[in-house]
Structure 1
Amino acid sequence: MNQDEDQARQAGLPSCYRHPGVHTGISCARCERPICPECMISASVGFQCPECVRSGSGTGHAPTANQPRTLAGGVLAAGDPQLFTKILIGINVALFLVQETVGDRFTDAFFLLGRAGIPGFDGVQGVAEGQWYRLLTSMFLHGGIAHIAFNMLSLWWLGGPLEAALGRARYLALYFVSGLAGGALTYLLAASNEPSLGASGAIFGLFGAMAVLMRRMKYDMRPVIGLLVVNLIITFAWSGIAWQAHVGGLVSGVLVGIGMVHAPAERRGLAQWGTCALVLAVSAVIVVIRTAQLT
């Protein structure tokens, strides 16, 4: 097995239906079965498998055929299939080191807070005071080594396969939409003076999308369901955990995941990005409603 094949296997990509030992992120534009470079045949739209071409359902060859596509229709990027997952982990770790170096003043300036006075800062702080950036920045801060270690391990385990299956742009959309939705629900339901931070909302969004993807691919769902149940038990059994972020991220991840992997091929882009826009719009409405309550 060469290095590229080993990376594909580790990323959780499905095997070519004609060559079980060859992992691939490309699927037939007609039947959606996974196909490796040896089997894919250029067509007027994407690539097709030999069976679809032989059966007459293919549309023939075209020198201007689209680039290889992932299961969700994203462009299959060259290079490391886990590139953006590694970048996200790197950003989280780098900002955690900044937190450890600078101290509470840095963390207090960027964690999620509804509306409260913070020692060392002038006036009242929080999202209700126009600091909407806290909904985003809080996604990259953590409360300790155990907190960031658990989140980054989950991101590594879930992120690689999802990045490979969805494509980089759709994967990032899933991550940020889920994180923002989790933050919005926390802002709505948590006490206004209760701080919150962590990538957990985005991570639970990945859990939700992974469950949808595994069901779509007809894989054994017991491992991901079991891990999700354990995480939910921890969420509600331990104090000090922002369960609102976990629930908001999970629900949005399921919704975005459904939009990503079940979108009809002829309206794929509209369905996928429309789902993301809808979840973001609901999150924005939640933030506006809560801000009105606090001001």
Structure 2
Amino acid sequence: MFTRTESFKQYIKLYPVVSTLLALNIAIYILTSMPVIGNQLFNLGVHFNLLISEGEYWRLVTPIFLHASLSHLLFNMFSLFIFGPELEQIAGKARFLTIYLLAGLIGNVATYLIHDWNYTSVGASGAIYGMLGAFAALVYYTKNFLPQLKQIIIPIIVIGVIMTFIQPGINTTAHIAGLITGFVIGIIYFHPKRIAAWKKRRNKFKSV
């Protein structure tokens, strides 16, 4: 299910939203890595509770597309590359984008509400955990006829949550808030007809 066998051209054609998000995150990282202007762009978009409280509300959204290091970017984009396509297929383009962006946004809002005035953070992790939360909702609906999904997703979520609490420098609030947001939206979005259509598309693609 999460093994990517498409060619580059097929991947872009089949998963345009995921492909766009990947390209956007990579492009922004390259820009923020440039001398002088890179630091200015990064500082303009970073989540900083004090500046948000002073009216710079765009900082609740822009951190979703910023990353502190190459390893940070690669980890999040690898997760998006692997898990995003199936979710885009079943949810549809608009719903997938809604899950991704709302999970990231609510993760940042929760961070603003819970943490001190001097708290700063960046990263797409809240949005990534939102995808995992949506898959958890999918597990809820498909546990009787798609047990392999449960066997894959639940351990990943459990390990991810554990690592969130034990690894230093992690925005735990954004991760958990994103996970919950994705699950709630998934419960609303995923219904038997949409899941059946997704299974039909997957079987058709496999037979090609």
Common topology (TM > 0.5): yes
What does residue 177 of structure 1 align with?
102
Equivalent residue number for residue 226 of structure 1: 155
In structure 1, list runs of 5 or more residues that go unmatched. 1-8, 12-78, 116-125, 266-295
Correspondence 1:97 to 2:9: no
- What's the offset of the Cα at 1:81? 2.2
Asked whether 1:242 is paired with 2:171, we answer yes
Q: TM-score, normalised by structure 1?
A: 0.58
Q: Partner amino acid for 1:97? A: I
Instruction: State how many pairs are aligned.
Output: 182
1:216 aligns with 2:141: yes
Q: Is the 8 A contact 1:179 1:249 kept in 2?
A: yes
- Contact persistence 2:103–2:177 (CA under 8 A): yes
Larger of the two Rg values belongs to structure: 1
> What's the secondary structure of 1:104's corresponding residue?
helix
Q: Which residue of 2 aligns with 1:262?
A: 191
Specify whether residues 263 and 251 from structure 1 end up closer, same or farther in structure 2 by C-alpha distance, changes over 3 A only.
farther
Letter in 2 for 1:80: K
1:217 offset after TM fit, Å? Answer: 2.8
Tell me how far apart the structure 2 counterparts of residues 159 and 264 of structure 1 sit (CA, whole Å): 20
Q: Kindly indicate whether the alpha-carbon contact (under 8 Å) linking 1:205 and 1:251 is maintained by their aligned counterparts in 2.
A: yes
* Cα distance in 2, alignment partners of residues 259 and 81 from structure 1: 24
Distance, in Å, in 1 between the alignment partners of 2:87 and 2:167 is 29
- Determine if contact 1:110/1:134 at 8 Å carries over to the other structure: yes
**In 2: Cα distance, 1:215 partner to 1:181 partner:** 22
Which string of whole-angstrom CA distances, capped at 9 and with x for unpartnered residues, describes residues 89-138 of structure 1? 110000001111133222111111110xxxxxxxxxx1111111111111
Distance 1:99 1:229 in 2: 33
Query: Is the 2:4–2:82 Cα contact (8 Å) retained in structure 1?
Result: no
Q: CA RMSD in A?
A: 2.2
Which position in structure 2 is the counterpart of 1:134?
Answer: 59
Looking at structure 2, the residues matched to 106 and 171 of structure 1 have their Cα atoms a distance apart, in angstroms, of: 27
Per the TM alignment, residue 214 of structure 1 is displaced from its structure 2 partner at its CA by 3.2
Alignment map for 1:21-32 (pairs within 5 Å):
none
Equivalent-residue separation in structure 2 for 1:260 and 1:95 (angstroms): 30
1:185 positional shift:
0.7
* C-alpha distance in 2 between matches for 1:138 and 1:153: 18
% identical equivalent positions: 34
Q: Which amino acid aligns with 1:153?
A: F
In 1, Cα distance between the equivalents of 2:45 and 2:53?
14
What is the distance in 2 between the residues matched to 1:185 and 1:197? 14
Partners of 1:264 and 1:85 in 2: how far apart? 23
Stretches of structure 2 that go unaligned for 5 or more consecutive residues are 6-11, 195-208
Counterpart-to-counterpart distance in 1, 2:157 and 2:71:
18
Work out whether residues 81 and 163 of structure 1, in 8 Å CA contact, stay in contact via their aligned partners in 2: no
Task: Tell me which amino acid in the other structure corresponds to 2:28.
Answer: L
Q: After superposition, where does 1:186-205 map in structure 2 within 5 Å?
A: 186-205=111-130
